[in-house]
Homo-oligomer: A and B are copies of this chain.
Amino acid sequence: MATRDSKGPDLERSLTLLWAGRSPGRRGPRPQLTVERIARAAIKLADDGGLDGLSMQRIATELGYSTMSLYNHVPSKDLLLEVMADVAAEKPPELDDTDFRLAVRQWVGALWAGFQTRPWLLRVPLDHTPIGPNQLAWLDRLLRPLLAAGLAPGEARSAALHLTAVVRGAAQIGLDMSGAHKTVDGRPHTETELARALTELVDPVGYPALATVHAAETTTVQSGPEETGDETVPAELSFGVDRFLDGIDAWARRR
């Protein structure tokens, strides 16, 4: 059987799996293996081997059990990934709720940092709105400052979706972008030679705007990180997020 593309995601199964508290009265041998333990072992493996290094067999050996034992606790690898994503998300950070802009920036910074720490999270297929306890906690944590700022519930939800999406997307696309103009120990990094190659391809005829931007970037002195005061949010993100917050702020005030 394939995965998520083919059969619709089994939300019910996901739910029970993600929220499963141990029901007390069970028959049979007391399980030594649990969803939690499996997920944690899998997370450890993913942390240093990436998602590709992750196989059911490896998880089993890591735990000292046979491969098929895992399937007594987890219906499929896909569902396991879902659980991993929630467990790995951990609890959301505490925010400074006195200033909603600051709070949102802190949240964005924390989420970004999370993706930096565990890049494989970006590779976990996402089929439905998050429903795990931790993921919901993150969402809740973000909604608080947004509601406090004066947004209507539906608007807050939209804004939260927006912000989540931005961070996710930026983390994916921008993975190497941050290093594009940085120098590693004085040497201009491998990426830069790509930049040069691109410069040839990006001719002003076919890509006028891109050429402009590209030219400006290679010409301009790198510095000027415009010092926003909190460095948690990376430069590429902060501009967009700040503009978004400007818009939210104005909207909230306007009512």
Contact = CB atoms under 8 A, between A and B. Distances in A.
B3 A140 contact: no
A6 B201 contact: no
Contacts of A65: none
A219 B18 CA distance: 27
Interface in A181-201: 191, 194, 197-198, 201
A68 interface: no
Contacts of A212: 143, 147, 153
A75 interface: no
A94 interface: no
Contact of A5 (B50, B155, B166, B207): B50
A176 B130 CA distance: 11
Interface residues of A, number: 89
Contacts of A240: 158-159, 161-162, 244
Nearest to A131: B198
Copies of this chain present: 2
A240 B151 CA distance: 12
Interface stretch (A35-43, A80-88, A245-253): A245-253
Contact of A154 (B6, B158, B167, B217): B217
Interface of A: 2-6, 9, 11-12, 15, 19, 49-53, 119-120, 123, 125-131, 136-137, 139-141, 143-144, 146-147, 152-159, 161-162, 164-170, 172-177, 180, 191, 194, 197-198, 201-202, 206-210, 212-213, 215-217, 220, 236-237, 239-248, 250-251
18 contacts: A2-B50, A9-B176, A12-B197, A136-B201, A136-B202, A140-B207, A147-B209, A153-B215, A153-B216, A154-B220, A161-B169, A161-B240, A162-B166, A164-B169, A165-B173, A167-B169, A243-B248, A243-B251
